[in-house]
Amino acid sequence: MTGPENMAIVRSDHWGDETGNTKTCFSPFFILENESPKYQLLLTDEHTLGEQKESASDFYVKSYDRNAQYTACCARTQLTRHLDHTWITYTDKDKNNDEFTCGGGHSEKEFDLGTYSADDLAYSISDYCRGKDDTNHVSPYGLDGVCHQMANRFLYPVGVIIPIKIEVHSKTQLDIDFRPKGYVLSTFAYGSWGISFKKWLTGVYANAKDSTSKDWIYNDRMMTPETLEYELEDVYMQSETVFTGVDAVLEETRRIFRRLLPAFQGNPVEKEQRELINNITKSANSAGIFMDKPLPILPESKVVELCSQINDAGIEFQTKLKEKIGLENYSVLFVDTEIQNMVDFDDAKKIYCKK
């Protein structure tokens, strides 16, 4: 809304809980001149930012209200080696609810990975991008990614991902033990948003913005600067060196090591990582599963065989990773030092055994 001359009052929403604590979330907005964007203001510091901004020039504000919440959920398994399932729920100010199941479902034994303020546009984009089985076009399952990559794509319009490492400037201030089991492993195999993320960005996601944002202006970069997630997003945004597919996943890993384990030069496990991704691809292809082709309907026995082969490739990779970087460094990357699975049989069965 507009205020006195030469001043804009920024819309803010206050979320309260049963303890009386509140959180103030500010709407992002752009300063416009003659209907064209002059520059944008990203209001992300909810602790120190005042509730008004002043400018020496006349302008007006166009902004979506941040009147909704996304919650990243996790079903923590107690079984050895099983990865945790992740999915996203949505609630607006009128208590309308929705969920993005990320190819699976959810469990009563869930806990929250984080809750983030969102605007109507973010939900419209996420809803547009659902894809079959709420996979957000992370497909084929196990070859392009798993539920972790699906969840990160649904979170993308909000400007966050499931955290790999907690940082001072990150929006995702979570206890490091609250990362889903298997999440870092799946990131090493598929990247933060899936092997096909670059194609998704320029295709499905771009179409979603065009179809839902209308005359609103939406950021080209979603992650918060100076965070690890911003560095990972940057892999896909560079114009001079364009990383796609497996090369993008390898570059993400290099940046993770640079931020979390800087003593290592570059990507110290690139050879092992390429072997992992190649083994996953061979297993999927042998089952008749290929990128950019319709999903086959498989018998349950074939899905069991596929999951076993992919998980065996993951076990081999983790064993080599421990030997190469040492147990202490390994524990920096993973929730614990236990070997973890790559894919979940139940999720794979829901996708590949459908009639």
The band of 262, judged by pLDDT with boundaries at 50, 70 and 90, is: very high
The predicted pLDDT at position 59 comes to 38
Using the predicted structure, report yes or no on whether residue 82 has a pLDDT greater than 60. yes
- Could you give phi then psi for residue 345, rounded to 5 degrees? -65, -45
Mean pLDDT of 64-78: 80
| Residue 42: Cβ within 10 Å count | 14
The predicted pLDDT at position 165 comes to 64
Using the predicted structure, report yes or no on whether residue 344 has a pLDDT greater than 80. yes
Using the predicted structure, report yes or no on whether residue 44 has a pLDDT greater than 70. no
Using the predicted structure, report yes or no on whether residue 30 has a pLDDT greater than 70. no
The band of 163, judged by pLDDT with boundaries at 50, 70 and 90, is: confident
Contact 142, 307 (CB under 8 A): yes
Using the predicted structure, report yes or no on whether residue 217 has a pLDDT greater than 80. no
* Helix/strand/coil for 206: helix
The predicted pLDDT at position 333 comes to 87
Q: How far apart are CA 136 and CA 126, in angstroms?
A: 8
The predicted pLDDT at position 77 comes to 73
The predicted pLDDT at position 212 comes to 81
Using the predicted structure, report yes or no on whether residue 222 has a pLDDT greater than 90. no
- CA distances to 193, 283, 321 from 280, in Å: 17, 5, 17
- Residue 354 buriedness (CB in 10 A; 0-12 / 13-18 / 19+): exposed
The predicted pLDDT at position 10 comes to 44
Mean pLDDT of 155-175: 65
Residues 314-327 have pLDDT tens digits of 999 999 999 999 99
Closest CA to 334 of 171, 180, 168, 190: 180
- Residue 308 buriedness (CB in 10 A; 0-12 / 13-18 / 19+): middle
The predicted pLDDT at position 171 comes to 39
Residues 103-113 have pLDDT tens digits of 987 666 577 88
Mean pLDDT of 168-191: 69
Mean pLDDT of 295-309: 96
Q: Which of 98-107, 135-144, 159-168, 225-234 shows the lowest mean pLDDT across its residues?
A: 159-168
The predicted pLDDT at position 106 comes to 67
